[in-house]
Chain A
Amino acid sequence: MTLTRLFYLLGIAISLSLAWIFFPGPLTEAGLSLPSTVKWVPSLDDTEDFCQFEHPEWRQAQSIEGVEIEEDPQCKPDNPYLVASVVKGTDKVSMPTLMKTRLAMDAVVKENDRDGDGDPDVIHIKLEVAELNGSTPDGDFLIPGYRIAPGLTPGMWVFVPKMRGMATVDAVNLDANPMLRAPSPPIRVEQGDTIYLTLENSHYFPHTIHLHGVDHPYLRADGQGNDGVPVTSEKMLMPGERRTYEITPRRPGAMLYHCHVQTDKHMLMGLQGLFIVEENRPDNWLQTFNIGAGKVRHRSAASRQRFDQEYDLHFQSLDKERYLPIQAHNDPRLVARAMNREYDITDSDEDFFLLNGESFPYTLRDSLIVVEPEQKVLLQVANGHPHTLGLHLHGHKTTAIAADGVPLESPVTRDVQALAPAQRLTLVLDTHDDGLHSFGEGAWLMHDHAEKSVTSDGIGPGGDIGLVIYRKYLGEDGFPKLQGMDLVPFFNRWFYRKQVPVWARSDEWAIFSDAAPLPPNTIRVVIAGLLLGLALGLLVALWRDGRKGR
């Protein structure tokens, strides 16, 4: 190599190195004037109405086929026809009523009043397993679609009552139909009844049901396993198979049911629900399923006697890494490998936190506890998080009267009630304004005080925030009348995807919204351009010199 060529090469190297140093980076230092603030203007297409609901008449108290259904004045109440169907039995209600639900005719069958007390004592309940927001080989979309908050569609598995018809809303709208949702529905049975709980495994993975805390024999009379544990009592229930669990629970209380296959995945993917054994009372027709949890619109005789209202509150959380396999792959072998061997729960951290299957702000639509002054409200709370739940109600101190279905000898009144993972607490919310149980009327926040739980993937306010709201703070459309922050950003589908400044609609948005980007420093641009040009020129010269030499 000649000396000239060496100089050329050295020149190119120096020019490029200096260009690298002078080239403007992703951040630019401000000069005398700081950049202006970008005003966030929400697109109407990306922002949902606070309360979208096409059946406002469902909110009223009503009687359907002789079943009394309590008022539920919030934005999205449960379908009263579904409530009537699961109280009377899906084979006993008229077809017009059943057709207003998606329930199969054999979803809940009630028969045989053995003790002659006016209610059925042999109950057949059928469950299926459904995947929400799973992948499809037919394109880049998730099916059936289920949003926990605007723009958020995590993958989930849920137990659902046996259904009929399509999983989606219809042939065009590929969102899950309203019955197909989280959480797995609370189930209510009566103490002393014989329950045949049949799991029809409609999913592509194996599953079981473990009746956690519910009085059940280890084996059925015919020797079949009855504990739902694949390691000990029975084989896993494979896709396309069904199995019936048989119980006659002797003690009342709030229990749990969950899948016991690969529990660290299946249970935390959503295969967990409240299982409540009610006291045996005469003429005690129970609401076998409470879809979406929340308000119980047809309560047990004991609940009606002692309380003014009853609500189910199911807290749970989701880990992106855990559910990613069902959105990345279609082939169950790939899903099984990714979920069972590549995912490691010991390294996991939960990302989404749900109250009754949804996160704030959707919880404002159908997970409100709507109260009047001077009421006693029964709360059945389940902690489906893998962490301890510190349930905090603003403006109130609740009283725990039972834990895991066992009455507490000394009821505990607290403003933070602690629940270990999988634990249930039966709480009384007393709205007498006495400075202890209630501080008076308001729209009071309710949430897990583990602070990450009030976010969705780290964006707050989100997660499992709910409200205890006094009736006068509820609007006519069932949505809370609030006087705090503008809720528009929370209903925008980009907010929880971290694209919207959290204080974008505050009075002083100009202080807190995003600063406009700055143009690069002109001197650096010129120097970098010159150096790059120099390197290019030297490269051409080197090439020409080489040709001449040949």
Chain B
Amino acid sequence: MKIPSIVFLSILLLPAWSFAGHRMDMDSMVMNENPMTLPEGCQRISGDQKITVHAGRKHAKKFPGLVFAYDRQSWDVAPCTRLTVRFVNDDDIRHQFMVHGLPEKIYPQGMFTIEVSGPGEETASFILPPYKKTYLVHCDIAQHTEHGMKAQIKVAGGDRDLASLPGLTKAVRPDRYPTDWTAGSIVSLLLALVAGVVLVWGGRRLLKAMGE
């Protein structure tokens, strides 16, 4: 076997792999890492910001009805910031920090992803565009987003708030729960009922007075 072939095969068989912003090993995967290339409209990197994001079951416990979550649901970032994400997976299963809506010219499919295969962490950077926009962050493992692992990054204040962010925004399609008639609800109903009667009675008296 020729030497170049051996080198080529050795590279292919390495336990870890790195190519054009992608790297992967047994523990984690990063897609579309970009610490250097400026998005269109950015003259320079405006600054460096580092965030640590924890993901897992325990972070959802403060949100009734949710199962998985990040420890935070929204981050504010200045335009053209190089954001370094330290992503810590506190579960024994896979989780992802996946950002959508980035310029496809430098981020294939408009995505930046860190995936950690089990308990552990991975760090990677990407540069945000200059425009006022809100970017979706989520875990795209089946039903993880739907059960709480969803957040947003707002550049220059963002252009909106995304729906169904745990503790921050309402669902587009909220669940319905059994109605519980509490003592307070019954008192409210009775007071409203009396108010209705008083309104009719008072109105009649008023009309009568006006007629006289």
Q: Do the two shown chains form a genuine complex with each other? A: yes
B26 proximity list for chain A (CB < 8 A): 91, 105-106
Docked complex Cα distance between A312 and B156 (Å): 55
Contact A241 B67 (CB under 8 A): no
* Among candidates B93, B115, B175, residue contacting A164 with C-beta atoms closer than 8 Å: B115
Docked complex Cα distance between A171 and B32 (Å): 14
A137 touches B164 (CB 8 A): yes
- For the complex, give the distance between the alpha carbons of A332 and B19 in Å: 40
Given the known interface contacts A144-B142, A202-B142, the answer about A138 and B57 at a Cβ–Cβ threshold of 8 Å is no
Cβ proximity bits B44-82 to A, threshold 8 Å, 1 near / 0 not: 000000000000110000000101100000000000000
Q: Which residue of A lies closest to B100 (CB)?
A: A171
Bound CA span A171–B56, Å: 23
8 Å CB contact of A128 from B24, B57, B93:
B93
Is B187 among interface residues, defined by CB-CB distance under 8 A?
Answer: no
Q: How far is A202 from B117 in the complex, measured between Cα atoms in Å?
A: 11
Q: A140-B173, A240-B57, A334-B175 are in contact. Are A135 and B94 (CB under 8 A)?
A: no
Alpha-carbon separation in the docked complex, A331 to B164 (Å) = 12
A238 to B58, CA, bound (A): 12
| A139→B170 CA distance, assembly (Å) | 12
Is there an interface contact between B65 and A202, defined as CB atoms closer than 8 Å? no
A105 to B94, CA, bound (A): 12
Q: Within the complex, what minimum Cβ distance (angstroms) separates A172 from chain B?
A: 8
Contact partners of B142 in chain A: CB under 8 A: 130-132, 134, 143-144, 167, 176, 180, 202-203
Q: Give 1 or 0 for each of A77-120: 1 = CB within 8 Å of chain B CB.
A: 00000000000000110111000000011100000000000000
Contact A204 B147, beta carbon cutoff 8 Å: yes
Assign chain B's interface to a size class: 35 or more
Contacts of A138 in B (CB 8 A): 145-146, 163-164, 171-173
Q: For the complex, count residues of A whose C-beta is within 8 A of B.
A: 48
A162-202 CB mask vs B (1 if < 8 Å, else 0) is 11111110110000100010000000000000000000111
Name the A residues within 8 Å of B15 (CB-CB): 91
Question: Which A residues, 322 to 379, have Cβ-Cβ distances below 8 Å to chain B?
Answer: 329-334
* Chain B residue with the shortest CB-CB distance to A237: B92
Q: Which of B17, B91, B117, B163 contacts A240 (CB 8 A)?
A: B91
Residues of B8-24 at the interface with A, using a CB-CB cut-off of 8 Å, are: 9, 12-13, 15, 17, 19, 24
A90: nearest chain-B partner, CB-CB: B26
Known: A143-B146, A330-B171. 19 other contacts (CB 8 A): A105-B25, A132-B142, A134-B143, A134-B146, A135-B173, A137-B163, A138-B172, A143-B143, A166-B140, A167-B140, A167-B142, A171-B109, A200-B92, A204-B143, A239-B67, A241-B93, A330-B146, A330-B173, A333-B65
Contact of B147 among A94, A163, A330 (CB under 8 A): A330
User: A240 with B164: in contact, given A130-B142, A171-B111 (CB under 8 Å)?
Assistant: no
Main secondary structure of the interface of B (DSSP, over half): loop
B173 to A: closest C-beta gap in Å: 6
A104 touches B25 (CB 8 A): no
Q: Give the distance in Å from the alpha carbon of A185 to the alpha carbon of B161 in the complex.
A: 40
Residue numbers in B under 8 Å from A329 (CB-CB): 175
* Residues of chain B lying within 8 A (CB to CB) of residue A202: 93-94, 141-142, 144
CA distance A238 to B91 in the complex (A): 11
**Of A94, A131, A140, A180, which is in contact with the most chain B CB atoms at under 10 Å from its CB?**
A94
User: Is B29 an interface residue when CB atoms closer than 8 A count as contact?
Assistant: yes
* CA A139 to CA B174, docked complex, whole Å: 9
Q: How far is the CA of A180 from the CA of B68 in the complex (A)?
A: 20
Residue of A nearest to B24 (CB): A105
Complex Cα gap A168–B139 (Å):
12
A242 within 8 Å of B by Cβ? yes
B181 in contact (CB, < 8 A) = no
Tell me, rounded to whole Å, the shortest Cβ–Cβ distance linking B156 to chain A.
23
A137 touches B171 (CB 8 A): yes
Q: Any chain B CB within 8 A of the CB of A136?
A: yes
Expressed in whole angstroms, the Cα–Cα distance for A329 and B176 within the complex equals: 8
How many Å lie between the Cα of A377 and that of B111 in the bound state? 46
